[in-house]
């Protein structure tokens, strides 16, 4: 640790006003330099080369040695079986030899290699193995010219970028159409009012911004003109889209109040009830006409007052009693001044009286309903 007065004895490389700060800065620069030197990498790579396992192990050589050992073991087993069979059969001749015949002197001696060699047998064997390997390669070789169909790329077939551009173009057209429809509907509502607030920009001319007089001094009249116009357009759009403080829209209409369904239902029920009562009365009138004045004992309606002669009323009562099976039969007693001829004439006059065409009391006829 240095003392607080060490900075006074420090000799800077360049003249400075504060030796303390200069010493501190130089020390920090030196520490940074030392850390960079420690982390620096050598210009020459002295690391040993990378080792590859397949070169160190030599797997191919091991595989060939194992194949050679298996082949030798296979031939040894065959020879051992032959020796054991000879011992068992005491040297019997096997005429069914499935193995290839042994090499003859003529087969390899007549072989003419391309290059001079000491052992024609081995050279012939090697050349045959090389030729077989060449034939296998020829059979499994692929054509130099690729006749297969070219690879298809989905992004080229689908053309996603083109579809995106078409969708954007469709959206722009739809937006412009909506604006035009709004303008047309506004013109129809306002009975052809003139739209003086054109939002489309006009091409600038030299006279537009040169003749423009700004409220404040500016170095570029064109930009100042453009900015002021943008601010003015923004203000006009706000004014155009502003909502009124007083709601002048008409009140909401409710269909159930306009249609008055309950009133219609009550009128329909009243009409049906009147029609039902009229039908009942019509049936009763028709039955009375068919029975020529028989009394309906089950009629709940009040009977009309009989204004006929008391003698006729007594005769009607007597007739009803005779027709009623519940009433006992009473012998007929005729008064002295009773005339039979007058009674028959009165009955004929009553039967021939016409039925009034007007509606009887109690029947109500609605307008527009001839059936009731």
Instruction: Looking at 202-260, list the stretches that DSSP marks H as alpha helix, in order from N- to C-terminal side.
Output: 206-210, 221-241, 255-259
Return the pLDDT at 192. 58
Higher pLDDT, 114 or 37: 37
Residue 105 in this model has a pLDDT that exceeds 70:
no
% residues pLDDT > 90 (the chain) = 25
Return the pLDDT at 329. 47
Is the separation of the CB atoms in 188 and 177 below 8 Å? no
Q: pLDDT tens for residues 129-175?
A: 999 999 999 988 888 888 888 888 887 888 888 889 999 999 999 99
What span, in angstroms and rounded, lies between the C-alpha atoms of 33 and 29?
Answer: 6
The DSSP line for 96-146 is ---SPPPP-HHHHHT---SS--S-HHHHHHHHHHHHHHHHHHHHHPPPSS-
Of 59-68, 84-93, 318-327, the range with the lowest mean pLDDT is: 318-327
Is the separation of the CB atoms in 185 and 179 below 8 Å? no
Residue 27 in this model has a pLDDT that exceeds 60:
yes
What span, in angstroms and rounded, lies between the C-alpha atoms of 148 and 325?
Answer: 116
Residue with tokens 């070789």: 141
Return the sign of the alpha-carbon dihedral for residues 322, 326, 331, 335: negative
Rounded mean pLDDT, 254-258: 80
Return the pLDDT at 304. 53
Return the pLDDT at 26. 93
Local confidence band at 189 (pLDDT 50, 70, 90 cut-offs): confident
Compute the mean pLDDT over every residue in the chain, rounded to the nearest whole number. Answer: 77
Return the pLDDT at 85. 86
What span, in angstroms and rounded, lies between the C-alpha atoms of 183 and 175?
Answer: 13
Local confidence band at 273 (pLDDT 50, 70, 90 cut-offs): very high
Residue 356 in this model has a pLDDT that exceeds 50:
no
For the entire predicted model, the pTM comes to 0.18
Q: Hey, which of 247-256, 262-271, 296-305, 357-366 has the most confident mean pLDDT?
A: 262-271
219: DSSP letter: S
Return the pLDDT at 331. 46
**Counting beta carbons within 10 angstroms of the beta carbon of residue 182, is it exposed (0 to 12), middle (13 to 18) or buried (19 or more)?**
exposed
Residue 195 in this model has a pLDDT that exceeds 60:
no
Nearest by Cα to 9 from 29, 21, 23: 23
Return the pLDDT at 245. 82
């Amino acid at each position: 640790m240095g003392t607080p007065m060490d900075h006074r004895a420090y000799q800077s490389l360049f003249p400075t006003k504060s030796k303390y700060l200069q010493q501190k800065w130089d020390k920090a620069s030196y520490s940074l330099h030392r850390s960079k030197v420690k982390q620096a990498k050598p210009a020459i790579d002295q690391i040993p080369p990378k080792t590859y396992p397949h070169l160190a192990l030599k797997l191919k050589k091991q595989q060939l040695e194992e194949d050679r050992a298996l082949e030798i073991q296979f031939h040894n087993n065959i020879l051992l079986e032959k020796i054991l069979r000879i011992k068992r059969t005491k040297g019997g001749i096997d005429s069914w030899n499935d193995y290839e015949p042994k090499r003859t002197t003529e087969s390899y001696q007549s072989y003419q290699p391309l290059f001079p060699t000491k052992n024609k047998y081995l050279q012939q064997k090697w050349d045959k193995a090389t030729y077989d390997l060449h034939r296998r390669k020829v059979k499994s070789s692929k054509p130099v010219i690729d006749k297969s169909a070219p690879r298809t790329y989905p992004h080229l077939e689908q053309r996603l970028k083109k579809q995106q551009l078409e969708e954007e173009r469709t959206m722009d057209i739809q937006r412009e159409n909506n604006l035009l429809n709004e303008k047309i509907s506004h013109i129809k509502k306002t009975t052809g009012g003139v739209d003086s607030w054109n939002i489309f920009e006009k091409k600038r001319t030299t006279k537009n911004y040169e003749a423009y007089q700004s409220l404040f001094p500016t170095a570029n009249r064109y930009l100042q003109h453009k900015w002021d116009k943008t601010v003015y357009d923004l203000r006009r759009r706000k004014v155009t889209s502003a909502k009124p403080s007083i709601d002048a829209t008409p009140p909401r209409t409710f269909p159930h109040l306009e249609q008055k369904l309950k009133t219609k239902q009550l009128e329909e029920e009243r009409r049906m009830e009147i029609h039902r009562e009229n039908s009942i009365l019509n049936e009763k009138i028709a039955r009375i006409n068919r029975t020529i004045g028989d009394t309906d004992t089950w009629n709940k309606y009040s009977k009309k007052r009989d204004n006929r002669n008391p003698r006729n009323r007594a005769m009607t009562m007597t007739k009803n009693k005779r027709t009623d099976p519940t009433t006992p039969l009473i012998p007929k007693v005729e008064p002295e001044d009773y005339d039979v001829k007058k009674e028959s004439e009165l009955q004929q006059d009553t039967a021939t009286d016409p039925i009034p065409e007007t509606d009887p009391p109690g029947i109500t006829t609605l307008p527009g309903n001839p059936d009731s």
